Amino acid sequence: MNKIKCSICEKNNNVLRHKITNINDTFKLYLCKNCNHLFVHPIPKKDILENYYKNLFSLPPNQEIKVKNKIKYIMNSIDFDLNKKRILEIGYGGGFLINEFIKNNYYIEGIDICNKNKKLEQLGIKLYEGEITNKNFKPIKKYDIIIMLDVVEHIADLNSYFRKINLILKKNGYLIITTPNLNSLNYSLLGKFWNWLSPPGHLNYFSKKSINILFKNNNFDLTTFKTWKGDEDKSIVTMIFKLPFTICLYYLKFFLLIFFKKKIKLINNNSRKLDYKKVNYFNDNYGFFEKFLYNSKNGPEMFVVGKKLK
Ligand SMILES: [Zn+2]
C-alpha cells in the first residue's frame, strides 16, 4: 500500500508496474488493483509536456491510412442517427473524420491544440484552437455528440476536462471515445514493450472497469463497449516474433541516449517510416490471426460510447 491515489477510482491500492524512459526522462507507471487502471505518477511537469508536444511528438506518416480505417470502423459502430446533430470533434488532427462527416452532410465543428486547418476553414467548418478547458472556448450552442479519438489517454487533468464536457454537451448527448485497451491481449503479451505505453504522451491506460468508473463519476452511462485492432499496424503474431528485437532496441536507445541525445529523435522517425510501408499490407491482411485471438474484450483499442445522464 502507498499513498498514491489512482487517477480514476482514487483508491490507494496501487503497485509500481513499469518505469519507462523516453528521450530525457524516466516515468513511473502504477497499476491500480481496484479498477485495473495504469497511470503515470507523478504527472509530468508542464515544461516536460510542452517540450514533448513541441519537439518530440509527431504524427506517424501513415496517420492518414490509419485514421481512414478507423473512421470506417467508427461509422459502422455508431448506432444512433448523426443527421441534424451538432457534433464536435476534440483533437481533429489532420481533419480526416471532419472531412468524412461533411461528405455525409453531418454538421461538425472541431477543436485542436495545433494550428487551425486552413483547408477545412475554407470549406466553412467552424474550428477552434486550444484546449476545451480554456475559458475562451465558449461554443454558441451545446453539442449533441462529442467525439474524441485517441485523446483521453493524453489528458493530465481528467476532472476539469470532463467538467467542461458536461458544460458543452446536451442532456442525453453522446460522448464517443477510442483509446488503448489495457485488458488487451497485446498488453498482456508485450507488457512494457507494447507500443502504446508511451509517456509523457499517454498518461492514462484504461481498462473496461476504469473507463466505466470515469464515466459514472462524470455523469455518463456507458452504453457501448467494443474492442478491435485500432492503430496497431502489425499483426500480433509479428509483434511477438519481433519482441526480442524490440527489447534490444529499447535498451540500445537507452544506452545511446547517454552519448547521442539529439540523434534519438531521428531514429524514432526513421523507424516510423519503415513501418509505413507495411501498413497497407497489414490492413489488407488484418483479421486472419486476430479473428482467432481477439474477442470483444481483448483487442488493443477500445471504442466506447457514453450517454450524458443529467
Ligand atoms: Zn483505480
Note whether residue 110 is domain-resident.
Answer: yes
- On average, the pLDDT of the chain sits at 86
Could you give the C-alpha distances from 97 to 67, 72, 74, 147, 225, in angstroms and in order? 8, 10, 10, 10, 20
Note whether residue 257 is domain-resident.
Answer: no
CATH number, residue 179: 3.40.50.150
pLDDT reading at 124 higher than 80: yes
Note whether residue 9 is domain-resident.
Answer: no
Note whether residue 132 is domain-resident.
Answer: yes
CA of 97 to the centre of ligand 1 (A): 32
Model pLDDT, residue 275:
45
Number of domains in the chain: 1
Note whether residue 178 is domain-resident.
Answer: yes
Helix (H, G, I), strand (E, B) or coil at 277: helix
CA of 269 to the centre of ligand 1 (A): 34
CA of 282 to the centre of ligand 1 (A): 35
CA of 66 to the centre of ligand 1 (A): 31
CA of 77 to the centre of ligand 1 (A): 28
Note whether residue 111 is domain-resident.
Answer: yes
Q: pTM of the entire structure?
A: 0.88
CA of 40 to the centre of ligand 1 (A): 12
Note whether residue 174 is domain-resident.
Answer: yes
When pLDDT is averaged across residues 246-262 and rounded to a whole number, the result is 72
Per-residue pLDDT band at 262 (split at 50, 70, 90): low
Domain that residue 196 falls in = 63-234+290-308
pLDDT reading at 251 higher than 90: no
CA of 15 to the centre of ligand 1 (A): 11
CA of 3 to the centre of ligand 1 (A): 13
Note whether residue 128 is domain-resident.
Answer: yes
